[in-house]
Amino acid sequence: MSHHIPEAVIWCLAVALTAVLILLVRQRGITAGVRRRVAQLEESLQARDEEVRHLVGVRLPAVAETMNQPVPLPGPLDERLAGTVFAQSLQSALELFTQAVDKAQARADQSAKAALKASMRALQGLAHEQQLAISDMQDRHDNPDVLRDLLEIDHANSQFGRRAQAIAVLCGSWPGRQRVASQLTDVVRGATSRIRDYRRVRVHSQADIAVVSRVVEPVVLAVAELLDNAARHSQPNTTVEVSLQPVHNGAVVIIDDAGVGMDGQEVQHAVALLSGQRVVDVSRLGDPPQFGFPVIGVLAARYGFSVSVDTRSPYGGVRAVLFLPSALLTHLEIDGPGTTPLRHPAATGTGRGTTGAPRSQQPPVRSPERPPAPEEFPAGHPDRLADDAPAVTGSTAGGLPKRRRRQPPAPRPAAPPPAESPSERTAEQTARIMGAFARGTRSGRDACDPPVTGGPTGPADHGAPTPDDEGKPPA
Amino acid sequence: MTPPAPRRDKGLVRPYVVTDGRAHPTRNTFDLVTLVMAHGDLPIGGLSPEKRALMELCLGGALSVAEIAGHLMLPVSVTKVLLGDLVDSGHLSTRAPIPSAQLPEAQILQEVLDGLRARL
């Protein structure tokens, strides 16, 4: 019986051992699974850490850097996270950040533009005011030395005004000046007067094209920027050639410089700026800021002309072509009405007489007057000419009554008596007068002391016109 | 009357462009009342717009410097620079105004003559 007991114990032990073994094996499997899972989770955690670090270190700065320009941004680092909730959260964080950056950027840009615009408008006003003052001074002073100084000040002031104007335009302002419709030649020369090296610019053709009032100042500004670029990027001893050409749909201003030219990348950049499509950020114009092309782009887009700089000039530099469509062009008759009345005073039409009136007023007086003068009145008394003028008025043209003003009203009644009396004298009377004059002079000189010469001439002068004194001195 | 036709905008082309930066006329013979006469036989095609306008003005007859400056809407001193160039190139000639005091008075001459005749 005692043998059964150990056997039973052994069986129990065996069963227990087996159970433990099974448990152990199972436990081991579970542990391995848990360890694997932990490793996986750790790896995943690490990936997310990396992803977040990538977001903060690379992606967000990239968003802040590129602003609102269409540049490809760096994507997420780990492919395995794609589609997870975590990735979506990151994406929405990124979007929020982008929006915030855009908003802040826009606000900063807007306030910078507003501040710049306001200050530039003030400067523009001052420049205009100064220009008026300088023009007044130029009119007033006739001394060439003063004029030379004034011209220099004027030149500096014009450049200063252009800079202020360009920045104001870039900040969304209008050019700040309304001009009358002007000849394209004058527009180009106006642009020439606003750059530093204006002496190097040669304007060639004298095309009879005019620019409508609305776009005169914008075109002046755009051409001035092109000319400034051309002159600044070429040697000081070269010229900048400008030619104006009428074309089928409008007119072009062609500006050739003999400078360094632009390479492909610069041309691309310039074309993008000149298209006016890209929003210009005033804080990113470079150092020193390059205003030229952005300003031209803004003006071209706003006023409907176009500028291209992508052709090479035959002189080796850049050929800039500004195209003005027919809608911006007009036709002026500036010189015609002004000069024709000079030649044909009687033939002036009534409509054109408005400009011609001040000019035609003077010459007809002069031309008919000169021939009769030698014949009738060689003496050339002013009152004689005034007497003559009304007759001329009546005979040539009735539409010019203003010439009557030339008659001096006061001297006329007084003038005729002395003028008439000499002509009525007979030769005998005249001889008596002259004789009395001579005798009086002689007797006066004889009577008075030699030093007192003023005394005798006095009485002699008085005695001359009246024949009554004739008898007294010789007696 | 119709409103005045548009004329040149005075502030557009600055005087230093008109004179090419020069302030001193090549000759110092111009006065406000100096008369200027044009010689129509020389071509005016190659001249600057202001000089052409000036020539067209003067071709109608003699004008004084002051009148030319007024018509061209330029300062007198700038006009003198242009006139100096044009006189140099032979397009223009000038004549100083004849002062009326120096004109011989025919009446008096006649009287003197008569007096002398009566005397001798």
Q: Report ipTM (2 d.p.).
A: 0.77
- Show me where the domains of chain A are located: 178-330, 342-396
Q: Please list, in sequence order, all residues whose beta carbon lies within 8 angstroms of the beta carbon of residue A397, skipping any fewer than 6 positions away.
A: A345, A346, A364
Of A332, A337, A379, the CB nearest to B106: A379
Q: Is B24 on the interface with A (CB under 8 A)?
A: yes
Angle at A251 between CA A246 and CA A255, to 5 degrees: 100
pLDDT in tens, A238-248: 999 999 999 99
Tell me how far apart the terminal alpha carbons of chain B are, to the nearest angstrom.
67
Give chain B's domain count.
Answer: 1
Task: Residue window 50-109, chain B: list those with CB within 8 Å of chain A.
Answer: 52-53, 56-57, 59-63, 67, 71, 75-78, 80, 100, 103-107
**Is pLDDT above 80 for A424?**
no
**Is pLDDT above 80 for A366?**
no
**Is pLDDT above 60 for A384?**
no
Look at the block and give the residue holding tokens 């020539």: B55
B69 to chain A: closest CA residue: A139
pLDDT in tens, A277-325: 777 777 677 777 778 889 999 999 999 999 999 888 888 889 999 999 9
Question: Domain residues for B111?
Answer: 15-119
Give Cα separations from A439 to A209, A240, A445, A451, A469 (angstroms).
78, 81, 10, 20, 11
Interface probe with A: pick from B22, B24, B77, most Cβ of A within 10 Å:
B77
Q: Is B21 on the interface with A (CB under 8 A)?
A: yes
In a domain, B7, yes or no: no
A179 to chain B: closest CA residue: B9
Place A459 in a pLDDT band, splitting at 50, 70 and 90. very low
Place A128 in a pLDDT band, splitting at 50, 70 and 90. very high
- Cα of A96 to nearest chain B Cα, Å: 51
- The 3-state DSSP class for residue A263 equals coil
**Mean pLDDT of the A445-470 span:** 49
pLDDT in tens, A252-284: 999 999 888 888 888 888 888 888 777 777 767
A142 to chain B: closest CA residue: B77
C-beta of residue A321 within 8 angstroms of C-beta of residue A338 = no
In a domain, B3, yes or no: no
**Is pLDDT above 90 for B117?**
yes
Test A193 with B14 for CB contact under 8 angstroms. yes
Q: Please list, in sequence order, all residues whose beta carbon lies within 8 angstroms of the beta carbon of residue A216, skipping any fewer than 6 positions away.
A: A179, A180, A181, A182, A187, B9, B12
In a domain, B30, yes or no: yes
In a domain, B20, yes or no: yes
In a domain, B5, yes or no: no
**Residue A185: how many CB atoms within 10 A of its CB?**
21
Verify cis geometry, omega within 30 degrees of 0, for the bond prior to B97: no
Test A354 with B2 for CB contact under 8 angstroms. yes
Distance CA A467, CA A434 (A): 10
pLDDT at position A71 is 66
pTM above 0.80, yes or no: no
**Is pLDDT above 80 for A25?**
yes
Residues of chain A contacting B62 with CB distance shorter than 8 Å:
366
* CATH code of the region A178-330: 3.30.565.10
- Residue A421 has which token pair? 């009396």
Name residue B38's beta-bridge partners.
B92
Instruction: Decide the pairing of beta strands A329-330 and A306-312.
Output: unpaired
In a domain, B107, yes or no: yes
Look at the block and give the residue holding tokens 């006649």: B110
Test B12 with A206 for CB contact under 8 angstroms. no
A331 to chain B: closest CA residue: B6
**Is pLDDT above 90 for A349?**
no
**Residue A282: how many CB atoms within 10 A of its CB?**
18
Of B23, B57, B67, the CB nearest to A147: B23
- Lowest-confidence segment of A75-89, A135-149, B82-96, B101-115 by average pLDDT: A75-89
CATH number, domain with residue B28? 1.10.10
In a domain, B10, yes or no: no
- Cα of B85 to nearest chain A Cα, Å: 15
Task: Residue window 37-56, chain B: list those with CB within 8 Å of chain A.
Answer: 49, 52-53, 56
